[in-house]
Chain A
Amino acid sequence: MSVRAVVAAGFALLLVALAVTLLHSAPRSAGSNFVDEHEEVTKLRGPDRLCQAGETLPADTAALRLLIGTYGRPAPALRVVARGRGGRIVTSGERRAGGPDGHVDIPIRQVDRLTPGLRVCVFAGAGGRTVLYGSAGQVRFEWLRPGSESWLELFPTIAHRFGLGRWNPLGSLLLPAVALLLLAAWAATARLVLREVGR
């Protein structure tokens, strides 16, 4: 086997591995309230609710993910309502009782635009105690995008986020530009290896 064959096989394997990774589909995050799930924040007893003000709903949100604990019992029915100024309901949704505790996703009516300044309430249905997790007195709200997406499908979103909070004259094209630079480094590497190692 020649060095050329090793390089060709290596890049082929790499492309296959990248394809498998980038085509993996799963629910993806739309954003969160930047609260970690370090500790128990509150315990809802039976039909009960928790409300947090000053929440922001990210764009393209279709579900709320919460970490709950139910002491081994099935998860209670959960409902979420997000209200804007004047109590106007921006979105809401619910999840039927059942299933294990841990991370649970509550589907909501999709919100396409970023919406700040909301009061978000989580209602737990009848049942025992339901622990909600977060830190520093705040429950973590993680908002999910609709459906399930591969990394490739998410690429435009990632490229948009990649361009924020930094010097960036290229906008959403920064990530593709960086990827091209890496590809150029790979091409130079292949050429150098063939020339220096393969002869």
Chain B
Amino acid sequence: MSALRRIPAAAWTCAAIALANVVVWSFVTPPFHVPDETVHVAYVQYFAEHAEPPNEAGGPVFASQEAGLLDALLFPRTVGSTETGTIWSELQDDAVDGTEARDLPTGDGGGIVSNSNQPPLFYALETIAYLVTPSDDLLDRLVAMRLAAALLAALTTLFVFLFLRELFAEPWTWTVGALAVAFQPLFGFISAGVTPDALLFAASAALFFTLARAFRRGLTLGRGLGIGAVLAVGVLAKLNFVALVPGALLGLGLLVMRTRPRRPALPPAGIAVGAMGVVALGYIALNRLVWDRSAWGGGIEAAATNATGGPAGLPGIGLSEQLSYTWQLYLPRLPFLSDQFTYFPPYEIWFKGMIAVFGWLDTRFDAWVYRVALVVAIPLALLFVLGLWQRRAALRERWAEVLTWLTIAAGLLGSIGFLGIRYRQDSGFVFEQARYLLPLLPLYASGLVLAALAVGRRWGRQLGAAIVLLALAHGVFAQLLVIARFYA
């Protein structure tokens, strides 16, 4: 409790602002119109009804209740379409009410689908919201589940604030960075839905914070336990978190290496790794012994199969092709690399995605808006680079920490490339979405803070305030875009 009391009031306020903004997003976005929310709700419902993850090969993915609601909401006809909103008439609303009144079965789903191999921690948390809702109607429960996810977004913002507090000496920067995250539209939109991304973002932000704290103040038993707890939560939140683990382990190793004498730092590092290991073993045991699933629920195993030559019938992907694909995902193509994309992913996927791509990737601004956003973003990016240059001495001094952040980021970026090329080969569709970068929100916030600091003492605070206002304006126009898409 004393640790909680030491958190500045500004951090709690930033978290509360994020909560309010994400709650707004949760009402602005119609039910099930956050990517994959249909199957995540199905997972929660099955988990709540059966206390185990969905694992019935060939069974229906959705329980009758959810399937009936999706039909009544005309979801199959509105998702992915830029030309149709959601339901607009009392007649259609009556059909939804009628479906809810039919008391359709809630436990007859459970079929294996894209998210069935995900670990169950997020779904277990959402099960609480599902079960405490004083109504059996799924739309009522959906509100409670979305609010629970919004709380995780507030937690993410809190950890971003605390991370910045470890990184920067100027207290005003902590507020600027955290508020920039609180109003980031993609973060708000995704966190407003029922999706394990919300817990993934919170765990990632907490990982950055706990590691930064250990770098700044030393690796104690308590801090080791904190890192271990975060790693454990992250691994059980979403499999994508595994990509961050190598960087975290490197950070722990560097923390041990730089401690003199080293021996006292070993137990905390051991506790961190051990906590994650124990939880992972517990999860494997549950999968094997109780839930009759493969060790990692199918997720890691599928990735390993792909890595060692691809599933039967599909050719493996060579290392050079993998590297070429991953490079071009984030950087301009070099002359000797084979062309992997017909478009420029850094702009088309990552930049545009961070500005505004909502719904099931079906809701975007007109093209000119992204060009205007680019005009605003380029000076900020240049200031960020200037800020790095100005602080090069500090970066050199804190090389171990910098290396840790870079390795965590590289792990995430590399995993997106690893999965992306395989997904494209298997399905023909594009895998990458900007939301996959959101585990790096703490670095996004610190980049904006560095940009504000780069203009110097005289103007830094003013630029910081302008960045917050810009994020706020970005947020509300994004919300208006979604309102126009679905209700106008």
The verdict on B419 contacting chain A, using a C-beta distance below 8 Å, is no
Q: How far is the CA of A57 from the CA of B477 in the complex (A)?
A: 31
The interface size of chain B toward A, counting residues with CB under 8 Å, comes to: 60
| Distance, CA A148 to CA B173, complexed state (A) | 46
What would be 24 A-B contacts, judged by CB atoms less than 8 Å apart?
A10-B466, A10-B469, A14-B472, A34-B84, A36-B83, A58-B88, A58-B89, A151-B484, A151-B488, A161-B88, A162-B483, A164-B90, A166-B27, A166-B143, A167-B142, A181-B24, A182-B20, A188-B17, A188-B20, A189-B472, A196-B10, A197-B176, A197-B461, A197-B464
Partner of B74, one of A10, A34, A114, A196: A34
- Tell me if A97 is interfacial: C-beta within 8 Å of chain B: no
Chain B residue numbers with a CB within 8 Å of A161 are: 85-88, 487-488
Residues of B within 8 A of A114 (CB): 89-91
CB-contacts of B460-488 with A (<8 A) = 461-462, 464-466, 468-470, 472-473, 476-477, 479-480, 483-484, 487-488
- B92 touches A (CB below 8 Å): yes
> Cβ of B28 and Cβ of A32 under 8 Å apart?
no
| Chain B residues whose CB sits within 8 angstroms of the CB of A52 once the complex forms | none
Interface size class of A (residues with CB under 8 A): 35 or more
Q: CB < 8 Å: which of B31, B171, B179 contacts A192?
A: B179
Looking at the assembled complex, report how far the CB atom of A96 sits from the nearest CB atom of chain B, in whole angstroms: 26
B172 close to A (CB within 8 Å): yes
With the chains together, A13 CA to B63 CA distance in Å?
48
Please state if B469 and A7 are interface contacts (CB–CB under 8 Å).
yes
B96 within 8 Å of A (CB atoms): yes
Which residues of chain B are within 8 angstroms of A19 by Cβ–Cβ distance? none
Contact partner of A158 (CB less than 8 A), chosen from B16, B179, B487, is B487
User: Are A34 and B24 in touch, CB under 8 angstroms?
Assistant: no
Q: How far is the CB of A78 from chain B (nearest CB, A)?
A: 20
**Complex-state Cα separation, A34 to B78, whole angstroms:** 7
Residues of A with C-beta under 8 A to B16: 188
Please state if A7 and B465 are interface contacts (CB–CB under 8 Å): yes
B444 to chain A, nearest CB (A): 18
User: A182–B476 contact, CB under 8 A?
Assistant: yes
Interface string of B149-192 (1 = CB under 8 A from A): 00000000000000000000001101110010001000000000
Instruction: Check: A174 CB closer than 8 A to any chain B CB.
Output: yes
Contact B31 A181 (CB under 8 A): no
Interfacial chain A residues near B10, Cβ < 8 Å: 192, 195-196
A58 contacts across to B, CB distance below 8 A: 88-89
CB of A181 within 8 A of CB of B23, answer yes
Q: Which residue of B lies closest to A182 (CB)?
A: B24
Alpha-carbon separation in the docked complex, A198 to B171 (Å): 11
CB contact list, A11-39 vs B, under 8 A:
11, 13-14, 17-18, 21, 28-29, 31-32, 34-37
The residue on A at minimum CB distance from B173 is: A197
- Judge if B30 is at the interface, Cβ distance under 8 Å: yes
Q: Give which listed residue, A11, A31, A162, A198, contacts B469 with CB less than 8 A.
A: A11
Bound complex: CA of A142 vs CA of B466, how far in Å? 42
Known: A34-B74, A197-B176, A198-B465. A14 touches B93 (CB 8 A): no
Asked whether, in the complex, the Cβ of A17 is within 8 Å of the Cβ of B139, the reply is: no
Name the A residues within 8 Å of B464 (CB-CB).
Answer: 3, 197
Q: Are B140 and A164 in contact (CB under 8 A)?
A: no
**Cα–Cα, bound, A178→B74 (Å):** 24
On chain B, the residues within 8 Å of A59 by CB distance are 89
Report the minimum CB–CB distance from B485 to chain A (whole Å).
Answer: 11
Q: How far is the CA of A34 from the CA of B93 in the complex (A)?
A: 15
Residues in A with CB closer than 8 Å to B183 are 189
Besides A6-B462, A31-B89, 12 more A-B contacts (Cβ < 8 Å) are A3-B465, A10-B469, A29-B488, A116-B91, A151-B484, A161-B488, A166-B139, A185-B17, A192-B13, A196-B10, A197-B172, A199-B172
**Residue of A with least CB distance to B466:** A6
- Which of B86, B139, B464, B488 has most chain A Cβ within 10 Å? B488
Residue of A nearest to B143 (CB): A167
Query: A129 on the interface (CB 8 Å rule)?
Result: no
Shortest A112–chain B CB gap in Å is 13
Name which residue of chain A comes closest to B462, CB basis. Answer: A6
Please tell me if the beta carbons of A186 and B461 are within 8 angstroms of each other in the complex: no
